[in-house]
Amino acid sequence: MAQEIIFDCEVVTPMFLGGADQQAELRASAIKGAMRWWFRAMMGDEDMSKLKESESEVFGSSDRGRSTFSIRNSTRMSPIKSALPRHEAEVAGKRFKINILDYLAYGPAAFEKGRGIVLKRDYLPPHGEFDLKLAFRDPKHLNAILKAMLMLVRFGGLGARSRNGYGSIHIIASVPSVAEMGVDPQLDLSRLAATKDEIPTFSAFSKHIKLFQARTVHSTWDKALAEIGLAYRESRLELERRHFFDKRQYIGAPIYEGKVRKSRLERRAKPYFLNVRKLSNGFRGQILFLPSAYCCGLDKDADGKAISHTQVNSDFLKSCAEINSNLSKKLNEVL
């Protein structure tokens, strides 16, 4: 069996890498970190101690030493700082409209008085290409490593705002092919979803996942991202009336109205992963719902108030169920 594989990859959506004052640069450490995250999500049926052991064995740790594989990458692209294509969305109670792509890029994009929302960081542009070479020191974990790579490509992305669809990747080809390496390139989500009944304590596959797919294959990446971005934003806003945050706070935190925090937690990443896939005939957006227990391990909220885990987890799942119901009216629920 071959001990290395080279992926020829393409950037599908803008990839925001590096800090605010750093030029966007694709680094092997960022790729390996993202693969590690999806490995953990994929292996979510294991208990935490066993998961940490297997993760350390594959990706390395201070106790276990170096990882069982290495990554080298080479790029054929330069960062840019062009404005994102415009796809307008209504803002309740306002005369102006926002660009949904700026909304999804909040962070790298920020409000500037007199100019509106502008990009503060450069990015690696769509259609740019790069190579990844994975070399395996121990073929024992080859299957799991390649599956983590496919997970990253299929559902995730690299860089900032990857949960909002930025940094999506397409594998043009690999040498040898993934199939020749003994891995089925068509990930069987139904098998992964069937591994765990209860809600995991961290982001991982379980019977509670859902996958929503856009109904349209678009000619460009930005149209595909705009479709699922609008569907997600509208589904979230439909949870409750303006200036109410009892439900919306469970989808992602913090949430602010002006300078006042309206969420019980200081930080909580949303359980939705937007992604744009490049197909033979265009681009299609999708949204993966990958839930985990809302505040596992916390006894008090950001205001110092005691947390009832049973209550907040129940409220969290109810809010997500409403969003999922809203999404199913705008997108196709394929799982």
Determine the residue type at 263.
S
DSSP string, 272-309: EEEEEEEETTEEEEEEEE----TTTT-SB-TTS-B--H
Is the bond preceding residue 291 a cis peptide, omega within 30 degrees? Answer: no
Q: Are residues 156 and 94 in the same domain?
A: no
The pLDDT score that the predictor gives to residue 321 is 97
The pLDDT score that the predictor gives to residue 188 is 78
Please write the tens of the pLDDT for every residue from 102-159: 999 999 998 888 777 888 899 999 999 999 999 998 888 999 999 999 999 999 999 9
The pLDDT score that the predictor gives to residue 61 is 83
Token pair in block for residue 222? 């930005």
Token pair in block for residue 284? 């299609």
Q: Is the distance from CB of 232 to CB of 275 less than 8 angstroms?
A: no
The Cα–Cα gap between 117 and 160 comes to: 17
Instruction: Provide the 3-class DSSP secondary structure of residue 147.
Output: helix
The pLDDT score that the predictor gives to residue 21 is 63
Q: Are residues 248 and 217 in the same domain?
A: yes
Q: What's the domain range around 230?
A: 189-335
Please write the tens of the pLDDT for every residue from 40-75: 998 876 677 888 888 998 998 877 778 999 999 998
- Kindly provide the residue ranges of all beta strands, DSSP E only, lying in 12-161, ordered along the sequence: 69-75, 88-90, 97-99, 109-112, 116-119, 129-136
* Closest by Cα among 156, 122, 164 to 26: 122
- For residue 40, which phi and psi values (nearest 5 degrees)? -65, -45
pTM of the model: 0.94
Q: Are residues 245 and 331 in the same domain?
A: yes
Q: Which of 157, 187, 217 is the last residue of a domain?
A: 187
Q: Are residues 154 and 172 in the same domain?
A: yes
CA torsion angle 223 229 234 239 (round to 10):
160
Q: Is the distance from CB of 125 to CB of 81 less than 8 angstroms?
A: no
> In the predicted model, is pLDDT for residue 331 greater than 90?
yes
The pLDDT score that the predictor gives to residue 194 is 66
Percent of the chain with pLDDT over 70: 96
> In the predicted model, is pLDDT for residue 92 greater than 90?
no
Q: Are residues 162 and 53 in the same domain?
A: yes
The pLDDT score that the predictor gives to residue 314 is 93
The Cα–Cα gap between 121 and 18 comes to: 9
**How many separate domains does the chain show?**
3
Q: Are residues 256 and 161 in the same domain?
A: no
Q: Are residues 318 and 261 in the same domain?
A: yes
Token pair in block for residue 217? 């294959």
The pLDDT score that the predictor gives to residue 300 is 92
CATH code of the domain in which 66 resides: 3.30.70
Q: Are residues 62 and 141 in the same domain?
A: yes
Q: Are residues 17 and 160 in the same domain?
A: yes
Q: Are residues 183 and 228 in the same domain?
A: no
Q: Which of 138, 169, 187 is the last residue of a domain?
A: 187
Is the bond preceding residue 85 a cis peptide, omega within 30 degrees? Answer: no
Find the helix or strand (DSSP H, E) in which 59 lies.
helix 48-59
The pLDDT score that the predictor gives to residue 123 is 95
Q: Are residues 211 and 133 in the same domain?
A: no
Q: Which of 162, 187, 212 is the last residue of a domain?
A: 187
Q: Are residues 170 and 220 in the same domain?
A: no
